[in-house]
């Protein structure tokens, strides 16, 4: 009986427990981080907010149409927020912009208000009453900053390129389409859609490196020498030179002695090559002058040339020709790859070669030289006054008169100032490529010597390249014959080739070495005044 009583009690307790389980309320797990302050449910805004924003932040007023176009096509939906707060794209762009400002030191696009709002949203320090205003301001500031950043980095500073002697049409950027693509495609950087010039990226990577070098830079000046230092010499000044060279070229180890050893010869030749100096391994005053250039000046040179590289239009043709004026070099690209380089002579400082682009259309063998009126006035007429036989002696002829000014042309031949062949890309500046009878000038390290046109070091090689598709007709012998005719002969190319006459005083060469050149026309100085005046 006792056992039965115990059993019944246990059964009663079991069913009582089951009943309690049935009546127990389900467990609700709450995310305590989502509050009235931290929730982001309103992802649209009124169009009138844009005008209010632009009135408050007039630095973005020039982008008013871009703001309207971008948000109209989104039906005024927030671009930089989702239900959790700032989107991944917002963080990506903020970091992208911060890295650019930090690496390049470009404070022109820094925005202190955006930084404070961004931190406020990340740390959830805003109040419920201010949340809508914080979101609206952050949203539109991010958009405005993107327009400013993309315009600057991918299109360049808002300065008049023509005023600085640059007549190549600048690359155009549709910042509205770029932002729309970046948001919708969810990419971390706009570069996928607006590629940066490869040289730009190489120089950009070097800026922070040179900023670090500047911190280690010695302020002492290396004194000029009475005669060049050569291998085997010993001098106290060599210690300074080694220290400066090692700072600039740390991949070539140098000791701290005053001996001109083989390592110093190697470092010297590398430096001379990178500066466009005559490469002989001896240290003269031209090299010392380049070593004495402050790194602050070199950093500015990097930034100036990065700015120019932002302006360069995209390469629409895989075959093109680039002449870098301060480098005194022509670079010929075939199927997107460098085919060959060639030494050139460019215009002097007084007769500077214009920076522009065109399309090479004609090869002219055995050309006449139609002497420009300016040269007739300044050079030919004074020479004629001194020597009545000047025209005949120089194989020239007068074909008419413009008022009292004779119209002069020089006949084809070995004395012709254009040499034996010229290459035309029609333009308003009367600039073209041509041969020259003065071959000895190409041995000089500085070759700004012409009246503005480009003289080629290897004109026959260039003609063979341009006519390579008709090599059966235009073989080496045929070209030689055409270069020695009594009258000029025009040959049209089957397909024109883009030509760019550019002005870069800093670039990274095919061996990965940073090169600098002198600002022969003063264009760097003028641009630096525009870029760094503030």
Q: How crowded is residue 17: how many other Cβ atoms within 10 Å of its Cβ?
A: 10
Instruction: List, in sequence order, every beta strand (DSSP E) within 445-488.
Output: 448-450, 454-456
Quote the CA–CA distance of 410 and 391 in Å, as a whole number. Answer: 9
d(Cα 125, Cα 134) in Å, to the nearest integer? 11
CA 520 to chain centre: 19
Half-sphere exposure of 238 (CA within 13 A, CB side): 23
Long-range contacts of 465-471 (CB under 8 A, 24+ apart): 465/332, 465/339, 465/340, 466/360, 466/363, 466/423, 466/493, 466/497, 467/363, 467/491, 467/493, 469/494, 470/494
Would you mind telling me the total number of residues written for the chain in this entry?
A: 534
Q: Rounded CA gap, 133 and 167, in Å?
A: 45
Helix (H, G, I), strand (E, B) or coil at 233: coil
494, containing H or E segment: strand 489-502
Q: Phi/psi zone of residue 186: left (φ > 0), alpha (ψ -120 to 50 degrees), beta?
A: left
Bridge partners (DSSP) of residue 166 are: 355
Catalytic-residue membership of 434: yes
- DSSP assignment string, 384-410: HHH-TTHHHHTTEEEEEEETTEEEEEE
The contacts of residue 343 (CB under 8 Å, 6+ apart) are 328, 329, 330, 442, 447, 457, 458
- State how far the Cα of 518 lies from the Cα of 531, in Å rounded to an integer: 19
Annotated active-site residue 453? The verdict is yes
Within 13 A of 486's CA, how many CA atoms are on the CB side? 0
- Catalytic member of 331, 434, 451, 523: 434
Q: Which of 331, 451, 453, 523 is catalytic?
A: 453
**Contact residues for 412 (Cβ-Cβ < 8 A; gap 6+):** 366, 367, 368, 420, 485, 486, 487, 488
5 alpha carbon, distance to own chain's centre: 96
CA distance linking residue 520 with residue 448, whole number of Å: 8
DSSP at 62: G
**What does the alpha-carbon distance between residue 433 and residue 311 come to, in Å, rounded to a whole number?**
24
DSSP 224: P
DSSP string, 407-444: EEEEPSSTT-TTTTEEEE---TT---EE--S-GGGGGS
The residues assigned a catalytic role are: 434, 453
């Amino acid at each position: 009986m006792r056992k039965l009583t115990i059993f019944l009690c246990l059964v009663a307790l079991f069913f009582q427990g089951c009943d309690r389980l049935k009546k127990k309320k389900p467990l609700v797990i709450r995310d305590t981080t989502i509050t009235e302050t931290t929730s982001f449910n309103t992802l649209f805004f009124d169009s009138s907010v844009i005008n209010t924003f632009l009135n408050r932040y007039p630095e973005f007023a020039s982008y008013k149409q871009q703001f309207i176009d971008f948000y109209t096509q989104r039906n005024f939906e927030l671009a930089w927020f989702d239900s959790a707060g700032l989107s991944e794209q917002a963080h990506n762009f903020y970091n992208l912009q911060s890295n650019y400002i930090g690496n390049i030191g470009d404070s022109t696009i820094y925005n202190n208000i955006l930084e404070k709002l961004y931190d406020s949203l990340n740390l959830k320090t805003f109040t419920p009453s201010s949340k809508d205003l914080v979101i609206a301001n952050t949203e539109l500031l991010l958009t405005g900053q993107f327009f400013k950043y993309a315009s600057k980095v991918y299109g360049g500073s808002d300065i008049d390129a023509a005023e600085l002697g640059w007549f190549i049409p600048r690359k155009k950027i549709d910042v509205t389409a770029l932002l729309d693509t970046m948001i919708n495609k969810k990419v971390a950087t706009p570069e996928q859609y607006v590629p940066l010039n490869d040289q730009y990226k190489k120089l950009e990577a070097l800026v922070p490196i040179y900023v670090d070098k500047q911190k280690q830079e010695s302020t002492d000046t290396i004194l000029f020498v009475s005669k060049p230092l050569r291998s085997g010499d010993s001098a106290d000044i060599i210690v300074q030179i080694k220290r400066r060279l090692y700072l600039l070229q740390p991949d070539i180890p140098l000791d701290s002695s005053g001996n001109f050893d083989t390592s110093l010869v190697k470092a010297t030749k590398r430096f001379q090559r990178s500066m466009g100096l005559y490469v002989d391994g001896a240290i003269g005053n031209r090299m010392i002058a380049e070593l004495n250039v402050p790194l602050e000046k070199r950093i500015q040179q990097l930034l100036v040339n990065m700015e120019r590289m932002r302006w360069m239009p995209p390469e629409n043709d895989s075959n093109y020709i680039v002449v870098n004026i301060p480098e005194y070099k022509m670079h010929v690209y075939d199927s997107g790859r460098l085919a060959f380089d060639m030494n050139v002579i460019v215009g002097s400082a007084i007769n500077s070669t214009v920076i522009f682009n065109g399309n090479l259309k004609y090869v002219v063998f055995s050309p006449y030289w139609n002497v420009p009126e300016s040269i007739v006035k300044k050079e030919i007429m004074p020479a004629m006054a001194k020597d009545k036989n000047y025209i005949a002696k120089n194989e020239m002829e007068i074909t008419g008169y413009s008022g009292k000014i004779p119209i002069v042309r020089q006949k084809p031949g070995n004395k012709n100032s254009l040499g034996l062949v010229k290459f035309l890309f029609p333009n308003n500046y009367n600039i073209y490529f041509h041969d020259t009878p003065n071959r000895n000038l190409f041995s000089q390290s500085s070759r700004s010597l012409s009246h503005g046109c480009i003289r080629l070091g290897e004109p026959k090689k260039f003609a063979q390249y341009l006519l390579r598709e008709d090599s059966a007709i235009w073989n080496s012998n045929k070209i030689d014959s055409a270069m020695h005719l009594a009258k000029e002969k025009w040959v049209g190319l089957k397909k024109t080739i883009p030509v760019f006459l550019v002005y870069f005083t800093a670039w990274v060469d095919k061996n990965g070495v940073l090169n600098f050149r002198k600002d022969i026309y003063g264009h760097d100085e003028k641009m630096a005044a525009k870029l760094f005046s503030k």
